[in-house]
Amino acid sequence: MPQEIHTHALANGLTLLAERMPHVRSAAFHILVPAGAAHDPAGKHGLAGLLCDLMTRGAGTRDSRQLSDALDNLGVDRGESTGTLNVQLSGATLARNLLPTLAIYADILLRPHLPEGELDAAKSLSLQDLQSIEDEPQRKVMIELRKRYYPDPLGRDQRGTAEGVMAATIDDVRSHHRTLFHPRDVILAVAGDVDWPALKGEVERLFVDWKPQARPPLAVARPEPKSGHIDKDLDQTQIALAFPSVPIGDPDFYHARGAVGVLSQDMSSRLFTNVREKHGLCYSVYASYETFRDRAAIVGYAGARPELAQETLDRTLEEFRTLVNGIEPDELDRVRVGLKSALIMRQESTSARASAIASDWYFLNRIRPLEEIQAAIDGLTVRGVLDYLRRHPAKGVTVVTLGPGALQVSQK
Amino acid sequence: MPQEIHTHALANGLTLLAERMPHVRSAAFHILVPAGAAHDPAGKHGLAGLLCDLMTRGAGTRDSRQLSDALDNLGVDRGESTGTLNVQLSGATLARNLLPTLAIYADILLRPHLPEGELDAAKSLSLQDLQSIEDEPQRKVMIELRKRYYPDPLGRDQRGTAEGVMAATIDDVRSHHRTLFHPRDVILAVAGDVDWPALKGEVERLFVDWKPQARPPLAVARPEPKSGHIDKDLDQTQIALAFPSVPIGDPDFYHARGAVGVLSQDMSSRLFTNVREKHGLCYSVYASYETFRDRAAIVGYAGARPELAQETLDRTLEEFRTLVNGIEPDELDRVRVGLKSALIMRQESTSARASAIASDWYFLNRIRPLEEIQAAIDGLTVRGVLDYLRRHPAKGVTVVTLGPGALQVSQK
């Protein structure tokens, strides 16, 4: 199947992307608005999340109830989330319901009511979400890692703080919407059984009146990553770590993915076999790659019984550090096969495709053709990955632990 | 797209099912073996999980390492899980790799090494999985609910018990495999770009030597559901509840799904709007339907701050109980749209289809055509759902709570 990709830039700065998948009956959409938690003003951390919640509580001619009824009447399986840099609104439904669905999302983006009467309920939910993290140590340790590893505001918890949520007024929410919800750099990506001329015409019609305006720039602090321990009476010690990698646009990007793959792609990867299976040290251990536009990190996680936690941390760090000493051609072969297999399987899901083309546009300002990604994966070599690791070694690793008792971090 | 479904019964009792999805390049498989945790012998609860872990640590001519390498070389995205009644082995890969993948799974099912040298590592992982539940209160309360609601062994935690895991020997694991891993009633379902004659021939070849043998019958105790509270110092009180419904083969099955849909299908459903949104009582609240072949339940969950927990429980129970008093046609319309939309979207995923046809065969001994399910959803009426609710009211609800301080359960 050759890919059929369309792009269209509206005069106001919004970009419409579409991938036509002719053999499906559904269509998925993925909207990115650069209005994530990093933009929350001082003292009001949590405002982005409140705004994101309130935007779907009435918009255009519909009140809160009518809005969710209308979307449910179109069979939309939807979700909204506040990220560090972007707010994401996404969903999937039958292809024939896509255009009426997008019309509702135009109301949500441009004409939300942001009703004062629902602010308390939204705040209560935000506070409970914040509090629930206390009962989810695995999530908590990753949040605490990001706070300590990335410079502010990139390391912020998207949920904000209890103080910030409580301090926010309805005027704050409304002014946050006015300040940040502009069409410039907004990405609206669609994948599935789409009729491009009809889609393009309708999106033009729906969004043509959205006035462009500059967003306030984001000031990012100087990075000062620091390790730390949070003492808590838990049955498992939670371990999180991070060190720098290269962002997605970097020539070394696929090498970084290859390195993470050797460590943690599947059940024959090093962390799983050496830390989990061979020694039975911990139930869960993984590495992953995460990227901003201008910086990226390899992060790791392990959760272990307190009496095994030190050994788990030592062995996990050892796996990260010794990777540069050598990789077997077989290991990289498996990473290549796995990456390509996952790529093709994701290609069959409308939601995955809508999200992928939005992400490509956000990071690269273009959509990578499937063949390009496949060729880059095929081109991975042991030498290339090792060279990357020499340039970006697992040194000065930031380690954050959560549990009963601190651990020793050997900084070789 | 008309569905193209094939079934083939092997002489030894294994059933092969396939759905051909011609526009995809992947293929997914889903294997059900009736060897779940309910079959664990007294004193050895956890044996099914240990066996499931050890089966993939070497089989046929491959040792543990070679086996996971071989699967990763085929790009198989796989998972094994131990359920109450069935062990499930599933995966997805490129369609051209399907037959070699199934050849490896024939080794795993028929000729696992079950190496003694890896038992300790498997036990350690099982114990850590059991222990990690203590740090995951939402999972824990649902496990505790099932223990109290369903009769033994149906309410068992699939992970078993620490005592059972520690007591298990390699001979126990091997004898458990001999006792339970037989082809009778095993379901091997495949969906994707499959070549049916080739698949059928290869599965015949791979499994023809698997000797049929009777499985020991399962004795299920008399149901005696009982509510309870588990005191634990948590930031959220976890609430779980259950009451009887009808199993999937029952003429009332779609009415039961309709009732659960009105309560909890999407963001305009009653639990979400009335308990979460309107009052901001709790971040997470839902109802779901779960079924065995001969019995089923509607279960509910809510997690709330301790000071809001009593009101959350009261309002949640009230929503379950007052549903029988009336349903708006609009509400049921949305449930119908949502169910049909989800049905068609799941139809586009090879993994979802492999799992769905295996499940249909397990519960119904046939595969429901898409049109049949659509017609049943279209045929849902308010009157039909209310009649079902009158016959199966939310009475004598079993409530299990976990957190700081017990709650009052009003049994109206």
Per-residue pLDDT of chain B (412 residues; tens, 9 = 90+): 578 999 999 999 999 999 999 889 999 999 999 999 999 999 999 999 999 999 999 999 999 999 999 999 999 999 999 999 999 999 999 999 999 999 999 999 999 999 999 999 999 999 999 998 998 999 999 999 999 999 999 999 999 999 999 999 999 999 999 999 999 999 999 999 999 999 999 999 999 999 999 988 999 999 999 999 999 999 999 999 999 999 999 999 999 999 999 999 988 899 999 988 887 888 899 999 999 999 999 999 999 999 999 999 999 999 999 999 999 999 999 999 999 999 988 889 999 999 999 999 999 999 999 999 999 999 999 999 999 999 999 998 999 999 999 999 986 6
Site of tokens 């770009």:
B193
Give the chain A residue whose CA is nearest to the CA of B137: A135
Burial B334-364 (b: 16+ CB within 10 A, else e): bbbbbbbbbebbebbbbbbbbbbbbbbbbbe
Distances (CA, A) of B312 to B235, B308, B323: 15, 6, 17
CA nearest neighbour of A191 among A22, A344, A343 = A22
d(CA B146, CA B393): 19
Q: What is the pLDDT of residue B1?
A: 56
d(CA A377, CA B210): 40
Q: Do A134 and B68 touch (CB under 8 A)?
A: no
Residues of chain A with pLDDT under 50: none
Contact indicator for A37, A29 with CB cutoff of 8 Å? no
Q: What is the pLDDT of residue B278?
A: 82
pTM, two decimals, is 0.91
Cα Rg, chain A, nearest whole Å: 23
CB-based burial of residue B301 (10 Å sphere; 0-12 exposed, 13-18 middle, 19+ buried)? buried
Q: Do B284 and A132 touch (CB under 8 A)?
A: yes
The three-class DSSP label of residue B193 is coil
Give the chain B residue whose CA is nearest to the CA of A92: B345
Helices and strands in chain B, H and E counts = 15, 13
Other CB atoms within a 10 A radius of the CB of residue A375 amount to 11
Other CB atoms within a 10 A radius of the CB of residue B371 amount to 10
Q: Do B69 and A330 touch (CB under 8 A)?
A: yes
Q: What is the pLDDT of residue A6?
A: 98
Q: Does A278 touch chain B (CB under 8 A)?
A: yes
The three-class DSSP label of residue A139 is helix
% of chain B at pLDDT higher than 90: 90
Which chain B positions have a beta carbon within 8 Å of A348's beta carbon? 24-26, 348-350
Structure tokens at B126: 């099982």
ipTM, two decimals: 0.84
Q: What is the pLDDT of residue A412?
A: 62
Listed as own residue / partner, the contacts of A73-78 with beta carbons closer than 8 Å and 24 or more positions apart are A73/B333, A73/B334, A73/B337, A74/A100, A74/A101, A74/A104, A74/B337, A75/B337, A75/B338, A75/B340, A75/B341, A75/B342, A76/A101, A76/B341, A77/B266, A77/B338, A77/B341, A77/B342, A77/B345, A78/B267
Q: What is the pLDDT of residue A1?
A: 56
Q: How many CB pairs lie under 8 A apart between chains A and B?
A: 182
Query: Looking at CA atoms only, how far is residue A343 from chain B in angstroms?
Result: 10
Q: What is the pLDDT of residue B243?
A: 97
Q: What is the pLDDT of residue A268?
A: 86
Q: What is the pLDDT of residue B412?
A: 62
A376-412: per-residue pLDDT in tens? 999 999 999 999 999 999 998 999 999 999 999 986 6
Site of tokens 């709330």:
B304
Query: Looking at CA atoms only, how far is residue B43 from chain A in angstroms?
Result: 23
